Structure 1
Amino acid sequence: MHSVIETPMYLRAAKAAGMNDAEMKAVVDHLSMAPDDGALMEGTGGARKLRAAGRGKGKSGGYRIVTYYCGKDVPVFLLDIYSKGDKTNLTKAERSTLREILAEVANAWRESARRKAQELRRNDHD
């Protein structure tokens, strides 16, 4: 199983889109087993768009979830969600902003993990 992080932006958007707890859990469970699921979104630097069923709407009328997965050593990040009825695709400006943000996400995560591992090793030797 792969780790999944629900970002604050995703959590706000999920609430605004009307997702219930069971739907949110289903998304996390699915991505923990298939972290690279979803279509790569052109111009985003690696973001993916995952289709998920909404209450009685099926996948075609449900939610679009923006995720980021860049490797086995980094969690899947849930970045945003929207209902297909509200929006069909990200704008060029939104894709550009994502590209800028995602360029740093994996490096920042890996650096943080490296620092924590060093700290744990130091504490083990004390």
Structure 2
Amino acid sequence: MLYTVCETPVFTQKALEIWTNQEKEEFIGWIAGKPYSGEVIPNSGGLRKVRWHASGRGKRGGARVIYYNLLEAGEIVLLMVYTKNKFDDLPKEFYKKLKEAVDA
């Protein structure tokens, strides 16, 4: 089953800084069919993080995507994308704010 993938404005903006349009569409096509990929972020209310390659960086040095599954509604919400060279990991408070935004 393929789910509808929704992007937050922050995700869209950051994705343009990291990926080509083709790379972004490739990721969206992939995640639409694999909503349980990546790992659940502890104490985040169900947010998930998955690694994905970025231009010239490969998967390990590439992008991290934070997303949330609303599978009962048939949706996956892409919240944030960043590169490892910007952040190794995001602060726990940031995950809390992302989850609050999803719940709003």
Common fold: TM-score over 0.5: yes
Could you list the structure 1 runs, at least 4 aligned residues long, displaced by more than 3 angstroms after superposition. Answer: none
Q: Comparing 64-73 with 46-55, which one deviates more in the overlay?
A: 64-73
Higher relative contact order (CA 8 A, sep 6+): 2
Q: Give the root-mean-square deviation of aligned CA atoms.
A: 1.4
Tell me the number of residue pairs that the alignment of Structure 1 and Structure 2 aligns. 103
2:70 and 2:77 in contact (8 A); partners too:
no
Deviation at 1:21, TM superposition (A): 0.5
- Matches of 2:88 and 2:19 in 1, distance apart? 17
Question: Cα deviation per residue 1:43-65 (whole Å; 9 max; x = unaligned)?
Answer: 21111111001112211000000
Specify the alignment match of 1:55 in structure 2. Answer: 55
Specify the alignment match of 1:4 in structure 2. Answer: 5
Specify the alignment match of 2:84 in structure 1. Answer: 84
Amino acid at match of 1:61: G
Q: How high is the TM-score relative to the length of structure 2?
A: 0.89
Q: Which is richer in helix? A: 1
1:43 and 1:99 in contact (8 A); partners too:
no
Q: How high is the TM-score relative to the length of structure 1?
A: 0.75
Amino acid at match of 2:15: A
Q: Which is richer in strand? A: 2
2:3 and 2:71 in contact (8 A); partners too:
no
